[in-house]
Structure 1
């Protein structure tokens, strides 16, 4: 599989903080899942995808207000109806890893929510599959 990387950056703002003044874990997972869905859509060429599974979640360091986070995605593998992504979140200010998910699984589905084969086996760098 070719080396595919997708990077998005997020500022940690006051509305993203928990009661301890750190980034709320649920907010980070929202960011991770939303951007992962965008990657899955561009790779599979359909907006009809659902999150099926996320590997163990282990927050290894905190992020504070004003920190800049980098969420880096890669395609781990394609299945018949799925695409498996990996995601590493790093604090660009401190250089520390915040979170790594070894697997985020998305499944292509039909109008009834049933898995459907997508026919993809290689990565693409752009959005051309959505227009094809």
Structure 2
């Protein structure tokens, strides 16, 4: 899993208990996962179809830096399924795990699902090449 993005928990992100509001975390997860899927499939024409199990493990407090780890689980003909792990940057403690987030490529005019032409193997190769280009390969 690659941790690709970070956010600072601000006062407007808090619930009544002064911890990160679950709805805000879900908003961030949907956005981060969508950006990841857009980059993987190289198209902006994706819609969120499904978000599976969501498990909140520990709170994030004001001032915490949270980071988003994303990984591709599965690739279908028109879809991509990703997992998103949100964790505290400093402690590495899991805040939230959202599994089985499904995005579907759609036609920009009809909004009907259309094939994206990618396979899991192609995406793995694409990611390795991208990391090599950025000098980030382990």
Fold equivalence (TM over 0.5): yes
Distance 1:96 1:5 in 2: 16
Which of 10, 14, 19 in structure 2 is aligned with 1:17?
A: 14
Q: Does 1:112 align with 2:129?
A: no
TM-score by structure 1 length? 0.87
Judge conservation of contact 1:6–1:74 (CA < 8 Å) in 2: no
| Corresponding pairs, count | 123
Distance 1:45 1:116 in 2: 14
Task: For structure 2, list consecutive stretches of 5 or more residues without a partner in the other structure.
Answer: 131-138
Shift of 1:95: 2.6
Root mean square deviation, CA, Å: 1.4
Judge conservation of contact 2:83–2:101 (CA < 8 Å) in 1: yes
Distance 1:28 1:60 in 2: 12
Q: Hey, which bits of structure 1, 4+ residues long, moved more than 2 A? A: none
SS in 1 for 2:25: helix
Which of 93, 97, 105 in structure 2 is aligned with 1:96?
A: 93
Query: Could you say which structure has the greater relative contact order, defined with CA pairs below 8 angstroms and 6 or more residues apart?
Result: 1
Task: For structure 1, list consecutive stretches of 5 or more residues without a partner in the other structure.
Answer: 127-132
Distance 1:73 1:49 in 2: 17
